[in-house]
Amino acid sequence: MEQHKIAVVVGSLRAGSLNRKLAKAFCGLASGELDCKIAEIGDLPLYNEDIDKQPPQSWTRFREEIKAADGVLFVTPEYNRSMPGGLKNAIDVGSRPYGGSAFAKKPAGVVTASPGGIGGFGCNHALRQCCVFLDMPVMQQPEAYFGGVTDAKFGPDGAIVDDGLRKIATGFAHAFADWVRTIKLARAALAPDPTGAGA
C-alpha cells in the first residue's frame, strides 16, 4: 500500500500539549498509509516581510518540510475562538514569499481538540478559511471537533486509551489518507503529458 508523507502542524507550544499527544497518537492509527512528521513551529520568528529577504533558518526549514510533504494535517486547540497565534504565524511564514507558498495545492486535514465540549470549532473553521487562500483542498468530512480530550485519554505509551476517541480518530485517519490519495490521483490524471505525446 502506498504511504503518504504528511507534515503535521501542532497548534500548541507547551510541552504537555494535548494536541501534540493527539497528533502523535493519531499518526499511529493509520501508519500503513500515513508517514507523519511534525513540522515544528515554536521557533519561527513572527512573520515580517522586511526580514524575508534573508529569511531566518527556521523559516526555510519549515517551508522545506511543508514542501516535501504530500499533505498537511493541522492538529490544534482553539485560542480565543480562533487559531493560536503561533499556528497562524506558521501559516503566514509558509505562505510567503508571494508566489512561492509552500502550502499551495497540498491536501489538508483539520483536527481541533479541547478539554471542553465545543472541540475547537471556532479554530477549525478559521483555519479552513485560510486554506481557501492557500489553495489547499481540505477534507470536508468527517469533521473533527474532539471535545473532552484530557491527559486521561492517553496511556503511558501515548496511545489513545479511550475507545470512543480512538474509534473516531481512526476513522478520521483513514478518511484523511483516502483524501490525500484522491487529490494525488486526480492531479496526476489532469497533469499535461510530460512526454508531449498528447492524444
| Binding footprint of its own copies on the chain (CB under 8 A) | 13-15, 42, 44, 46-50, 79-93, 95, 117-119, 121-122, 125-126, 128-138, 140-141, 143, 145, 147, 178, 181-183, 185-187, 189-190
Q: How far is the CB of 188 from its own copies (least distance, A)?
A: 9
In the numeric block, the cell 504530500 is attached to 70
Nearer to its own copies, 96 or 166 (CB): 96
Q: Tell me the three cell numbers of residue 161.
A: 486509551
Q: Could you tell me how many residues make up the chain?
A: 199
Shortest reach from residue 63's CB to its own copies, in Å = 14
DSSP class of residue 79?
A: B
In the complex, the smallest distance separating the C-beta of residue 64 from its own copies, rounded to whole angstroms, is 19
User: Is 76 exposed, middle or buried (CB count within 10 Å of its CB: 0-12, 13-18, 19+)?
Assistant: buried
For the bound state, the minimum distance from the C-beta of residue 9 to its own copies, rounded and expressed in Å, comes to 12
| Cβ-based nearer residue to its own copies, 28 or 174 | 174
CA 34 to chain centroid, in Å, comes to 12
Between residues 121 and 159, which has the closer beta carbon with respect to its own copies? Answer: 121
- Parallel, antiparallel, or unpaired: how do β-strands 4-10 and 34-38 relate? parallel
Q: How far is the CB of 125 from its own copies (least distance, A)?
A: 6
Nearer to its own copies, 152 or 157 (CB): 152
Query: Which segments of 55-152 are extended strands (E)?
Result: 71-76, 108-113, 145-146
Quick one: 151 or 157, whose CB is closer to its own copies?
151
CA distance 75 to 39: 11
Nearest to 72 by CA among 47, 100, 48, 95: 95
Q: Which is nearer to its own copies, 157 or 194 (CB)?
A: 194
Q: How many H-runs (helices) and E-runs (strands) does the chain carry?
A: 5, 5
Q: Provide the 3-class DSSP secondary structure of residue 75.
A: strand
